[in-house]
Amino acid sequence: MSSRDHHVTRRRKAPHRGRLCGTVSDMIVRVSEAHVRPERFEEFRELIVSAVRGFPGRHPGLLDHEVLVAPPDSLLYVSRWRSEQDLVGFAGEHWRDQPVVLPGEDEYLLEPLHVRHFTQASLAV
C-alpha cells in the first residue's frame, strides 16, 4: 500500500425489493478502475459521486456500492450485484469486459476504464 491518503465515499445499501438475496457465492462484485488526470481528480470524483448516488433506486439487484479514492489519480467504483441477470440489466450483455462510461467521462481519464469482476470465496472449513 502506498503512503498516499486513501479516502472512502460510502453509499447506503439498496433495499432488497421484497425478496431475499441469493447466496453469498451468487453475488458479483464489479470493480471499475479509473486512472484520472491529477489536475482533474476532484472534479472527476464529484462527477462520479453525483452520478452514482441514485443508482440503488434505479438499478434492481444493486445490493451495495462505494467510491474509493487514492488521490491524485486513482478512483474505484465498487458495486455488489445480487445476480448476473441484475448486472446485465445495468451494464448490458457485454458486462464482463465493457465498462459503463458516463457521457464526457473520457476527458478526465489518462487511459480507458478497466473493469473486473469477483465472486466471494468461502472461508468455511
Whichever domain contains 15, its CATH number is 3.30.70.100
Opening angle at CA 14, ends 10 and 17, nearest 5: 175
3-state class of 109 per DSSP? strand
Whether the link from the prior residue into 38 is cis, omega within 30° of 0, is no
**Whole-number mean pLDDT of the chain?**
86
Number of domains composing the chain: 1
In a domain, 12, yes or no: yes
pLDDT at 90 over 50: yes
Specify whether the CB–CB gap between 29 and 117 falls below 8 A: yes
**Is residue 78 assigned to a domain?**
yes
**Span of 25-29, 38-42, 92-96 with lowest mean pLDDT:** 25-29
Residue ranges making up the domain that contains 28 = 7-118
**Better-predicted residue by pLDDT, 20 or 124:** 124
Q: Is residue 125 part of a domain?
A: no
